[in-house]
Amino acid sequence: MTDSRRLIMVLCKFLACVVLVFSALYLSNSASGSQSTCCNQCLQRFNNCDAHFVVCCQIYNTCIQQCGGACTPLKCILD
């Protein structure tokens, strides 16, 4: 293999690694953003709930389970 082909192969591998790193960073940022949106949608549903507090709280806690664990659960027991 000539030096120019070797250089091209090294550059291609380097560019492939750079693309993989940026793709991973992009996907991790978009995933955390979608979790935040999911939490906000569950909270909005809770705030608009017309049922008893305990029922709305259980609906909220069920909703946030689908958000990947990024949301804070509510305490559904009235003190």
Residues 51 and 76 sit within 8 Å (Cβ to Cβ) = no
pLDDT over 80 (residue 16): no
- Whole-number Å distance between alpha carbons of 18 and 40: 33
**pLDDT tens-place string over residues 18-77:** 556 556 555 554 445 566 789 999 999 999 999 999 999 999 999 999 888 778 888 887
User: What does the longest C-alpha to C-alpha distance in the chain come to?
Assistant: 78
pTM for the full predicted model: 0.54
Amino acid in the structure at residue 62: T
Residues 70 and 33 sit within 8 Å (Cβ to Cβ) = no
